[in-house]
Structure 1
Amino acid sequence: MSVINEIDVRALQDSADTLRAKPGLARATFTVGGSWQGGYRITTQTGALAQDGSRDETRVAKFEMSSDEPRAALGTDTAPTPAEYILHALAGCYTVTTTTHAALLGIELKAIRLDLEADIDMRGFLGIDPSVRPGLQQIRVRVDLDAPGTTREQLEELIALVQKRSAIRDTLANPVDVVTTLA
């Protein structure tokens, strides 16, 4: 059995074969629920994961996340900001996508280093200038891969796959239907 980057390549290929045969298993729904903690603070917990209509309740409240704003933005600086969670989500997805596709390409990684930055113009968020969008203006990701015996061209091919296949990058780079309802 071949293990590359701590990924069981045979199991990965078997999973892909299963999803080809049963596409319903490929569709999943992630959930979180949260409660306001005052000021800019919220605490959320993971909820059930649904896959092909079946709910996995073992993830309910298994993990907890909190967010806040720095003091400079009138928060209490007790947790990462929502923007930092976006960067973390992208870094996490890039890591999953990089290790997965490196393993499938036979590239052994010794290390991955990601440095991410995001720019925002608060005039959009505060409604000061309606021509400024309230969201992040640009996200920059610097990827440093240590893959002995791998050419620059192979690493560039891998990063191109990461940009093409990362679910979180795709979510950030393309419009997503976000439906908000008042309970």
Structure 2
Amino acid sequence: MTEPGNTLNGVDRDALNGTLEAVEKNPQLAQVTFTLGADWKGGCRQSSVTGSTRQAGATIDSRTARYTLESDEPAALLGSDTAASPGEYVLQALAGCYAVTFATHAASRGIELSALRLDMEVDFDLQGFLGLDEDTRPGAQEIRVTAHVESPNTPRESLRELTELVQRHSPIHDTLAREVRVSTSLA
């Protein structure tokens, strides 16, 4: 796959280097906040719309697009099966972040990716959610990812190292693997 200019894996390497330099000079630029508004639609359904994105406390004015995300549960899990489940969105969030992290870190190392597919599974034990067993956590028990990474000129060992690097540097992987403070307040 031929890419224009200094682009590799769909990543503009000049822009990547510019971002690295800018953040090294001004570490506050590394502080990014995403926002979302969510409305319950009855039953297990809800609809969310993305909001503003902030960097270093300032709204990124160039990002004006808003995206709608719908969620529901399968009928077997009390939903009406009209959209992806929150559990599937967890996998999507991780998949999306892995794709960004693979493409970016591969590009910064001069690794050309010809294909990337992620097979993903997440396990939940509903006893925790339903309050049937207070010793069972309601959250995910385990997430499994199999990365199918192809590169025309990169040895398998280098792809294995890239995969390990992705796990260490993926923000969503880190969010899921470590404790994160979540605060919820009643308006």
What range is the shorter-chain TM-score in?
A: over 0.9
Aligned residue for 1:135? 139
User: Which of 112, 128, 136 is 2:116 aligned to?
Assistant: 112
Aligned residue for 2:168? 164
Task: Note the C-alpha offset of 1:144.
Answer: 0.2
CA offsets per residue over residues 62-108 of structure 1, 9 Å max, x none? 10001000001110000000000000000000000000011011110
Aligned residue for 1:84? 88
User: Which of 27, 30, 33 is 2:37 aligned to?
Assistant: 33
1:74 aligns with 2:72: no
- Given that 1:69 and 1:80 are in contact with CA atoms closer than 8 Å, whether structure 2 keeps it comes out as yes
Indicate the RMSD between aligned Cα atoms, in angstroms: 1.2
Q: Look up the equivalent residue of 1:15 and give its one-letter code.
A: T
Aligned residues: 183
Moved more, 35-44 or 1-10: 1-10
User: Which of 152, 159, 166 is 1:148 aligned to?
Assistant: 152
1:101 aligns with 2:96: no
CA gap of 1:53–1:2, structure 2 versus 1, over 3 A, is same
Aligned residue for 2:25? 21
Q: % of aligned pairs identical?
A: 50
The CA distance in 1 between the partners of 2:162 and 2:19, in whole Å, is: 21
The CA distance in 2 between the partners of 1:163 and 1:92, in whole Å, is: 13
Q: Look up the equivalent residue of 1:34 and give its one-letter code.
A: A
- Given that 1:48 and 1:58 are in contact with CA atoms closer than 8 Å, whether structure 2 keeps it comes out as no
Moved more, 61-70 or 113-122: 61-70
Task: Note the C-alpha offset of 1:59.
Answer: 4.7
The CA distance in 2 between the partners of 1:50 and 1:6, in whole Å, is: 24
Give the structure-2-normalised TM-score: 0.94
What runs of 5+ residues in structure 1 fail to find an aligned partner?
Answer: none
The CA distance in 2 between the partners of 1:53 and 1:148, in whole Å, is: 41
Task: Note the C-alpha offset of 1:58.
Answer: 6.0
The CA distance in 2 between the partners of 1:169 and 1:130, in whole Å, is: 26
Task: Note the C-alpha offset of 1:44.
Answer: 0.5
The CA distance in 1 between the partners of 2:77 and 2:168, in whole Å, is: 34
SS in 1 for 2:141: strand
Return structure 1 stretches of 4+ with deviation > 6 angstroms: none
The CA distance in 2 between the partners of 1:7 and 1:75, in whole Å, is: 39
